[in-house]
Structure 1
């Protein structure tokens, strides 16, 4: 696909805008009618990072505002002062609101910042308040390192400072090798670093401590040392995939590691769906190389398409060279570009022995058409209060919304995803 990483991010954003429009401005979990707030927020952040598709981002933000509790948890009618709330999703929502220029203290009729601050425990951990426990976890607290990092970034962007205890708790999850573990409930087990958790935590550390702090440097070095020659990263399932590369790219962008960022962007671009794919798929990013091959020969393959819908948003922000610390919709264009491909005409012999052909493809920046039915405030660091850390890496502007991720009832598949530590 032609163009710079920024151009390619624009095409990916075009895919996001088309697929959101075709799905009533939001995404659902695969093979279900349940609202996937986390992926929906990532989609808005992808559009913002690419600097395009503001009209769709606004529409999706409006949907999120109307469905806050569908994602972060419902108030308990028997105990309205203590609503069910999931920490990681709420943090991601606050980041989305700020990125869109909204007010996180008055979004969807709620003060999201106060609700998030209410989840900080004495230890500094942002913990879930849930009634959906099981024998292995009767408290129903499935909060993890990714969620802790999201919450630290969210509080930092919304208030310009982070409680010292919350910062320290995140730092406690750093292993001796510099990486971060994914599970918070493993104090007495070996600390095993995880690429996804490290990528989110590294972004939080840049905001808290700066790029040159030893803890930040160690986290970024661990991440760089685990980048493969192809620019990608292996996930826990042993796959080089767009999501992990996407969040790693965000960390490299935040930390100023230009070489590693470029490698991650090249890997992401290798998974992008170009003119060799069905029109509705163009610009999207496959989850893996195997999925990309599948979508080329069987473009309506449900599983591969579902994974592309979840991979493209996080990968787009990384491809655009953005991070969770600074992504904003300010200045974005109203529409998103779409890749327009012209068929190559047959070659015509000339009077000499040479032949000429028309260029195989060109691009346009018109508004993305709906997908066919088959695809179905800057804060002053000096204002930090005692016991808080100034948050220097964020654009602490107003806020707007972005979305949600936990449903209400205890849908098994969703709880399972949370337990497995998937991105909020």
Structure 2
């Protein structure tokens, strides 16, 4: 049967259109760049608790004296404070449950309790000032969601808490970071509540009161967790610890305005007091959020730790003398200063500018060991979030996202955050590396708050979902003698069962989803090319037939 010229032309046009429809999505997918991890330095050493006569440091945080601890029951244990962390992303959240109502960004999560007042030490209002917050993604991000899922899985597998690496001592600081990370992501609320319950049941061991001592930094961190979870800071745990009263005893014990470890002397080893700037900042934030005010002397003492370059020193000292700034201490102190004076205050601006000047091209920060790491980037991201610095925040978030385990890692690691790029490579190749895994367990909770765009001034469990997302990775093609194969699963970025929050403004461009592989487009491209050639041939034939009709 001979086709008329018009029919041949119609067939040609239809064939060309079909070919274009098949080729266009393939071209778009092929043009999508895959994120690549940044290069970091090698490893770090983590000091685990040893004896009552030696201090321990947790990550990049506060050192505190150690005391004997037990395991299974999670009773008394040594602790130090660890750094928090965080980053937000432009990608929308992936959730396995329906979304909750928008969560409040106010500084109050539970009714304020009465502050301890003194005529000699007036109170400074605490609330974050009047400066606008950074333009951040509404709700959580895909990266924060997957990190939250990792936290939920690893906490549940360890009895709803973390221990110090290589030991059986309850690590209260890291567990608090996990609770705050889940609260910031707005996910995993059931596991966050279980971990919080474990913390409160063992709070005396964590802050030292079980041993007639007090660790000032851990006490402030515990206070912050209680406030974020909506608890009563004056009645914590089975022993009804009054965290505010304990900190009140600590204030000024060593020198005016300083929150110190107790006893300051006569503890049986030297020194007795390991309090530092990170702990002072945590105490100021915890007291401020719990009561709405901070003793003037404590605020003044923290401000006295600021160096001429805008950063804050790590070790507490009276005004004057040499002052060497520390990035981690500055990130915590900046948040406290913003809570006291507002983000537009010169002291806050100088601290944030100090951090911005030390942010590398990869978005990360060097710690005292010379490593670009998740902990330092995380706490800096919190400071940028609190201070309304979306550009610096986005860069820190991109660095944190580059350290996240994707589908190239084993299922148990996916969603977690490696301490460094070197650790990420190590665990991807050798998932059983204990030292690198221990560091990831400590880095992920501290990074998650920043991935969610949160900070210590506003983090709250209000409105959090029970969901704990896990990446949905492509499946391997089925082995078959036929020419067809099993189609890969959709990438996690495209798999959602809940309405996703709005993407952030273009000005605060943040990283996308985990770097998972997408669908195979080769077959589609070949079919489209064949149809394209066929369409051209049909069109040419139609023109020839039309000319000789």
TM-score bracket relative to the smaller structure: 0.7 to 0.9
Q: Distance in 2 between matches of 1:248 and 1:132?
A: 35
The corresponding residue for 1:306 is 438
TM-score, normalised relative to structure 2: 0.62
The corresponding residue for 2:175 is 40
The corresponding residue for 1:65 is 200
Q: C-alpha displacement at 1:358, in angstroms?
A: 3.6
1:17 maps to 2:148 = no
Q: C-alpha displacement at 1:6, in angstroms?
A: 1.5
Q: C-alpha displacement at 1:189, in angstroms?
A: 4.5
1:322 maps to 2:454 = yes
What CA deviation, in whole Å up to 9, does each residue of 1:249-270 have, x standing for no partner?
Answer: 0000000000000000000000
CA contact (8 A) 1:71 1:89 kept: yes
The corresponding residue for 1:334 is 466
Aligned ranges for residues 367-382 of structure 1 at < 5 Å? Answer: none
Q: Which runs of 4+ in 1 moved over 6 A?
A: none
Aligned ranges for residues 190-229 of structure 1 at < 5 Å? Answer: 190-229=322-361
CA contact (8 A) 2:415 2:471 kept: yes
CA contact (8 A) 2:152 2:468 kept: yes
Q: Distance in 2 between matches of 1:134 and 1:191?
A: 27
Q: Which of 380, 390, 411 in structure 2 is aligned with 1:279?
A: 411
Q: Distance in 1 between matches of 2:282 and 2:391?
A: 25
Q: Distance in 2 between matches of 1:248 and 1:261?
A: 8
The corresponding residue for 1:167 is 299
CA contact (8 A) 2:234 2:241 kept: yes
Q: Distance in 1 between matches of 2:409 and 2:143?
A: 15
Q: C-alpha displacement at 1:361, in angstroms?
A: 2.9
Q: Distance in 1 between matches of 2:290 and 2:350?
A: 27
Name whichever of 266-275 and 189-198 sits farther off.
Answer: 189-198
CA contact (8 A) 1:47 1:57 kept: yes
CA contact (8 A) 2:473 2:489 kept: no
Aligned ranges for residues 225-374 of structure 1 at < 5 Å? Answer: 225-345=357-477, 358=488, 361-362=491-492
**Consecutive unaligned residues in structure 2, runs of 5 or more:** 1-34, 36-89, 93-139, 498-549
Q: C-alpha displacement at 1:88, in angstroms?
A: 0.3
What root-mean-square deviation, in Å, do the aligned CA atoms of Structure 1 and Structure 2 show? 2.4
How many residues align? The count is 355
What CA deviation, in whole Å up to 9, does each residue of 1:366-414 have, x standing for no partner?
Answer: 9xxxxxxxxxxxxxxxxxxxxxxxxxxxxxxxxxxxxxxxxxxxxxxxx
CA contact (8 A) 2:182 2:189 kept: yes
SS at 2:437 equivalent: helix
The corresponding residue for 1:123 is 256
CA contact (8 A) 2:251 2:257 kept: yes
SS at 1:94 equivalent: helix
The corresponding residue for 1:400 is none
Q: Distance in 2 between matches of 1:333 and 1:308?
A: 24
User: In 2 relative to 1, CA 45–185 (structure 1 residues): closer, same or farther, beyond 3 Å?
Assistant: same
Q: C-alpha displacement at 1:7, in angstroms?
A: 1.5
CA contact (8 A) 2:284 2:298 kept: yes
1:30 maps to 2:165 = yes
Q: Distance in 1 between matches of 2:340 and 2:179?
A: 24
The corresponding residue for 2:104 is none
Q: Distance in 2 between matches of 1:303 and 1:311?
A: 12
